[in-house]
């Protein structure tokens, strides 16, 4: 028995040592992810993206023979560039440091590879990337300049793509799921010219490639790498929910040109949520289908029917998401802010960041704290200290300024006031409306938000849960409430994100707000129609919850 215990103890020690060795190997051993171009011309600059290269230059090996030191142009822990030798046809490339040699990647001299004859017109028009500035240590939200030729003018067919999946091959550019697409007319793009593109780095990028597509084809891929020194967002536990929604309608009378429109939100696409919307009944009344909402229209022909129904099903995938933030290094946006963030700093009817009370509160917070992340916490604390939550108020007709004046309001008003205060502090903010999933899989209407930090991107947060205000029946997914200042759990289902423009309302039309789980200006729009409508609270039909 004693001998068996000794054997078991020895095996355990061996496993611990082996695990430690593997962990140490991962942390310090050089690893190559990308080499680009894979088929360079002689004297062309070649880039290697990877990890654990170290601050001190090691060696770039061609078939185990080191390149001359003068051939290596740049060496950093995650990025190396060198000149392609003239006398090499092909080679296995490795990087060697004091901790060993990396995995191999193949390189071939482009001038030695037989090529299919392309038409001169095709070669002249296809976009081509010759450089990027910077190419390493790029931060989310900051600009990168892509240089080259034949990028053309901004149009619906032109876009720039960033790697979404780490260590993706340069040959997999045709799979849209591997890359983040930024259209040439997107606000992230500062300028788009034939020989250069200046673009702010979008959320969710990973080390890898950038390339350009136009009407005339796809460019070469160009390697770039990103800095995470300020922090990053990461996903955790995820669930899938199947949700049913039903609206019952009875049109009692209608003029010949009378009409009634129901505007239904589609689950929002966010950094931690994706969704599919399926129309189960009422598709013949679908008048418009946009990215964030659908319009179902009814009129005189429907007045004779005893009951009308619109039912939809949502298949929603959510995951918890939280940000690891290097708080001491976070900096304010500065002025003027980038154009792509300007809409989320402006005062409007929904988010009154220009209100005298809000501006005064922002000044008081700025005197106490300059760090944007710490200001987020102070803003939430100010709101919940100065506006008493009325849980019975679903916020269908919340007047934000009245809630500030009366120091009382529903969850919708409180979330919008919080976003307004963040904007007044110079922190971009977006309100989000949707549901919390209870322990018995009911849906509770709820509101939260997102704020933006340079170097990290959009960060979801729930100011109510962060300050300890928990709706009845809900059990928070994070054991530490302060985590909600930098993330949300997978029990949040977003139905509406920010202001969504709907068709303009004619003076004689009647608009109504019927539901507490969206941020729409109105849900029903009627003209020359008498009717009765019932919006049933959506219900979870199935889920992957344990």
- pLDDT one-digit tens code per residue, 50-99: 888 998 899 999 988 899 888 899 888 888 888 988 888 888 889 999 98
Asked: is 31-111 a CATH 3.40.50.620 domain? The reply is no
pLDDT, one tens digit per residue, over 302-334 is 888 878 999 999 999 999 999 999 999 998 988
Residues 420 and 449 sit within 8 Å (Cβ to Cβ): no
Tell me whether strands 59-62 and 45-51 are parallel, antiparallel or unpaired. unpaired
pLDDT above 50 for 14: no
* pLDDT value at residue 151: 96
For the entire predicted model, the pTM comes to 0.78
Q: Are 379 and 466 in contact (CB under 8 A)?
A: no
Cβ partners under 8 Å of residue 259, min gap 6: 297, 298, 299, 526, 527, 528, 529
Q: Rounded to whole angstroms, how far apart are CA atoms 358 and 372?
A: 16
Q: Is the domain 321-497 a CATH 3.40.50.720 member?
A: no
Cβ atoms within 10 Å of 128's Cβ, excluding its own: 17
CATH number assigned to the domain covering 129-227: 2.60.40.10
Reported as a pLDDT band with limits 50, 70 and 90, residue 466 is very high
- The pLDDT of 426-432, averaged and rounded, is 96
Element (H, E) at 8: helix 2-28
Question: Beta-strand (E) ranges in 84-195?
Answer: 90-97, 100-101, 105-108, 128-133, 143-149, 159-163, 179-183, 189-192
pLDDT computed for residue 177 by the predictor: 73
């Amino acid at each position: 028995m004693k001998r068996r215990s000794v054997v078991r103890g020895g095996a355990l020690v061996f496993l611990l040592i082996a695990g430690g060795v593997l962990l140490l190997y991962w942390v310090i051993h050089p690893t190559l992810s990308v080499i680009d171009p894979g088929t360079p011309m002689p004297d062309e600059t070649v880039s290697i993206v990877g990890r654990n290269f170290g601050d001190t230059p090691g060696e770039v090996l061609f078939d185990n023979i080191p390149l001359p030191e003068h051939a290596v142009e740049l060496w950093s822990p995650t990025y190396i560039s060198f000149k392609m030798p003239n006398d090499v046809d092909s080679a296995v490339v490795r990087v060697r440091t004091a901790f060993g040699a990396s995995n191999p990647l193949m390189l071939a001299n482009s001038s030695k590879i037989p090529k299919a004859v392309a038409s001169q017109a095709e070669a002249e028009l296809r976009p081509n990337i010759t450089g990027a500035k910077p190419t390493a240590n790029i931060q989310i939200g900051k600009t990168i300049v892509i240089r080259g030729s034949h990028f053309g003018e901004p149009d619906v067919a032109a876009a720039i793509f960033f790697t979404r999946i780490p260590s993706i091959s340069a040959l997999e550019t045709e799979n849209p799921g591997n890359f983040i697409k930024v259209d040439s007319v997107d606000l992230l793009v500062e300028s788009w010219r034939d020989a250069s593109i200046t673009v702010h780095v979008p959320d969710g990028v990973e080390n890898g490639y950038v390339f350009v597509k136009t009407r005339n084809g796809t460019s070469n891929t160009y390697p770039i790498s990103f800095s995470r020194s300020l922090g990053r967002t990461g996903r955790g536990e995820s669930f899938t929910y199947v949700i049913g929604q039903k609206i019952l309608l009875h049109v009692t009378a209608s003029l010949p040109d009378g009409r009634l429109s129901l505007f239904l939100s589609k689950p929002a696409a966010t950094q931690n949520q994706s969704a599919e919307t399926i129309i189960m009944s009422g598709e013949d009344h679908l008048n418009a289908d946009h990215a964030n909402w659908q319009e179902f229209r009814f009129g005189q022909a429907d007045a004779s029917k005893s009951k009308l129904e619109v039912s939809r099903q949502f298949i929603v995938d959510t995951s918890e998401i939280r940000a690891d933030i290097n708080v001491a290094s976070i900096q304010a946006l500065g002025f003027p802010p980038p154009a792509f963030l300007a809409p989320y700093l402006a005062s409007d009817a929904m988010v009154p960041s220009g209100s005298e009370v809000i501006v005064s509160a922002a000044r008081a917070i700025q005197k106490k704290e300059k760090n944007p992340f710490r200001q987020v916490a102070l803003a939430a604390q100010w709101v919940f200290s100065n506006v008493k939550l009325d849980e019975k108020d679903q916020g269908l007709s919340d007047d934000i300024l009245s809630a500030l004046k009366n120091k009382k309001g529903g969850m919708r008003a409180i979330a919008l006031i919080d976003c307004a205060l963040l904007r007044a502090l110079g922190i971009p903010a977006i309100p989000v409306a949707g549901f919390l999933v209870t322990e018995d899989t009911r849906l509770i209407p709820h509101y939260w938000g997102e704020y933006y930090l340079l170097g990290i991107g959009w960060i979801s947060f729930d100011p109510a849960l962060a300050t300890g205000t928990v709706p009845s029946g809900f059990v928070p997914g994070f054991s530490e409430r302060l985590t909600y200042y930098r993330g949300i759990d997978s029990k949040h289902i977003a139905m509406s994100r920010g202001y969504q423009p709907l068709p303009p309302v004619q003076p004689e039309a009647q608009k109504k707000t019927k539901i507490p789980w969206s941020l729409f200006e109105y849900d029903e729009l009627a003209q020359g129609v008498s009717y009765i409508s019932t919006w049933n609270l959506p219900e979870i039909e199935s889920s992957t919850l344990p």
